[in-house]
Amino acid sequence: MKTVLRTLAPAAVAALVLAGCGGGGGGEQETPSVSTAAEGSAISPERCAENEAAGKITYVTGYQYQASASILDPIAAQALGYFDALCLDVEIQPGTGETAQNAQLVAAGTAQLSSMSGGSDVLVNVANGVDVKAVALFGHVPIATLMTKPDVTDLKQLEGTTLGQKGALPVAIDAMLRADGVDVDRIKQVVVGFDPTVLVRGQVESLTGYKSNEPLTLKALGEDVKLWNPEDYGVPGSIAATIANPAFLAEHPTAVQDFLRAQLHAFEHCETAAAECVGFAASAARSGYDTAHNVDVWTTEEGLVTSTLPAGQVLGQMDPAAMQTEGDFLLRMGQVKAVPDLTRVLDTAVVPALYANGTLVWPAP
């Protein structure tokens, strides 16, 4: 999804010129050379003062510096100087993958904003008593997938076989199997690590994973696998949500708005500059970063986000009806005892206000 951005002031244009990016695979990365925007160069003095009053904004990623939606885009926004241009003091902290912990940090005010894996992740945490508010949602499709060898032509063939999962069967995969008439109790489930080659080596006949991770690893190894996707069986889902501390959102609305403005601006930049943006993440990770794999991660997730954007909506916008559908699904699957009141969980006004006639407004008003 490409949009035509409003014209920057000449000083801001000059400040956002880039030079270089990280490259290569794992190992030590060179820091990309970036001319960052001057403090407040894309904002009025009055709005700058409002944003500065918010103090340091801590943003916790979903998982380390992985090049996923809602992780790579804030990293790029920081490296490109977009936060500085909006007078935002942002610290990005790498998450561990335990997004329930992220939600608790935000609820406690230890962090102000965080990435979550999707709408369901937000709803489950709120249903468990964690006080956070969702302000953005990027993709409108389940991220989970089930991998098999190509000779599996019917999911019922998995009855009597072994399925590998990471500790629990993802609810979207469970629902997909049941929707296709599979007796899940007849599938032996085993906990496996994060090496997807257990599937091609025949240690399991099916393997759960993420569309933007394990299938890419296997493809890079030249292995041919078949993906079974929950959305093809009517299972709802979403990816890459952003949550905020409710008190912080109420006290500093322009800071939250402009954080998302910078994030969305960076997302649009990274749509056509994947290697450059992944280079920023590689530099933040410092060592052991698989740049080539993460370019594939970003390209895949960016495609999932833009291809599932509902007609008439803008990037990042939350759809209460779709979120209600996810909540009802979680209720049916026994993941929550009741669907939280969405009027208390979602702030649906933040993202649409960042756009004018479908175009992201940059710089800020």
Give, in degrees to the nearest 5, the angle at Cα 145 between 143 and 151: 160
Task: State yes or no: pLDDT of 24 exceeds 60.
Answer: no
Domain boundary among 233, 261, 286: 233
Q: Kindly state whether residues 65 and 135 are assigned to the same domain.
A: yes
Q: Kindly state whether residues 257 and 222 are assigned to the same domain.
A: no
Pairing status of strand 89-93 against strand 56-60: parallel
What local confidence, expressed as pLDDT, does residue 62 receive? 95
d(CA 122, CA 126): 6
Instruction: List, for residues 118-131, the tens digit of each pLDDT value.
Output: 999 999 999 999 99
Domain that holds residue 208: 144-233
Number of H helices, E strands in the chain: 15, 14
The total of structural domains in the chain comes to: 2
Tell me, yes or no, if the pTM score tops 0.85.
yes
* Residue of higher predicted confidence among 364 and 156: 156
Q: Kindly state whether residues 49 and 117 are assigned to the same domain.
A: yes
d(CA 209, CA 2): 29
In the predicted model, what is the mean pLDDT of residues 73-87?
97
Q: Is residue 225 part of a domain?
A: yes
Q: Is residue 2 part of a domain?
A: no
Q: How far is CA 169 from CA 56, 86, 148, 177, 292, in A?
A: 38, 42, 15, 11, 29
Pairing status of strand 355-356 against strand 359-360: antiparallel
| One-letter identity of residue 130 | V
Q: Kindly state whether residues 286 and 331 are assigned to the same domain.
A: yes
What is the per-residue burial (b if ≥16 Cβ within 10 Å, else e) of 67-96? bbbbbbbbbbbbbbbbbbbbbbebebebbe
Q: Kindly state whether residues 199 and 270 are assigned to the same domain.
A: no
CATH of the domain at 199: 3.40.190.10
What local confidence, expressed as pLDDT, does residue 218 receive? 98
Centre a 10 Å sphere on the Cβ of residue 197 and count the other Cβ atoms it contains: 13
What local confidence, expressed as pLDDT, does residue 38 receive? 59
